[in-house]
Chain A
């Protein structure tokens, strides 16, 4: 059974800092991996989708990497802003398994 772990569960950083969020999965037989953000009381917003054949994807200040052999993905956020404060979730597609998320707080 696929298990997805996100560490740390919570992270607080000052504005302007670059940061990395981690996502680990146990079964490397995946179709793709998707990163989402979720604001309190809201639905999930898609950030990046990495296909299993890809190593990374970039969108603006966000860069996501995928290493299937080690069962890891990272989400890099450059020059963080208070508006980036949210919970970030990764989802591994084979059977659509989600991690519990990392709650990010960016302090002005």
Chain B
């Protein structure tokens, strides 16, 4: 089992460009999450999907959109990238919402110039 996979691993964007970060899990988990990690600010939740067909905002949703494509896949879209979105983005999944162990992907390192 690959667990949680993310693509791409690295990306450089110019301000105003758009892109989609992809995440997939092969553990048949119901819940999926997107976080960003910044020095001195820890990991912060952007959006989550408690189950297929649902999405909810986390702590820092502004500037992002998400799509739960199916049970396996959860994508994060930046419509108009800003330098403040330079960060490392992690996708995670769990068997069900909150009460279960979370498993993380390897991350996507995004730089916006």
A residues near B (Cβ < 8 Å) are 4, 31-32, 34, 36, 42-46, 49, 51, 89, 91, 93-96, 98-101
Contacts and interface: CB of A to CB of B under 8 A. Distances in A.
A45 B106 CA distance: 10
Given A42-B106, A98-B42, A98-B43, A31 B90 contact: no
Contacts of B107: 42-43
A44 B22 CA distance: 18
A34 B101 contact: yes
Q: Is the interface of A mostly helix, strand, loop or mixed?
A: strand
B58 interface: yes
Contacts of A46: 101-104
B99 A31 contact: yes
A43 B42 CA distance: 13
Contact of A100 (B40, B98, B102, B106): B40
B13 interface: no
A44 B33 contact: no
Interface residues of B, number: 23
13 contacts: A4-B42, A31-B99, A32-B99, A43-B107, A46-B102, A51-B99, A89-B42, A94-B98, A95-B45, A96-B45, A96-B48, A100-B41, A100-B42
A44 B59 contact: no
Contacts of B100: 49
B105 interface: yes
B5 to A, nearest CB: 11
Given A96-B48, A96-B98, 9 more contacts: A32-B98, A34-B102, A43-B4, A44-B90, A93-B99, A95-B58, A96-B33, A100-B40, A100-B42
Most buried by A among B44, B99, B102: B102
Given A96-B45, A98-B42, A101-B42, A91 B106 contact: no
Contacts of B99: 31-32, 51, 93
A51 B107 CA distance: 26
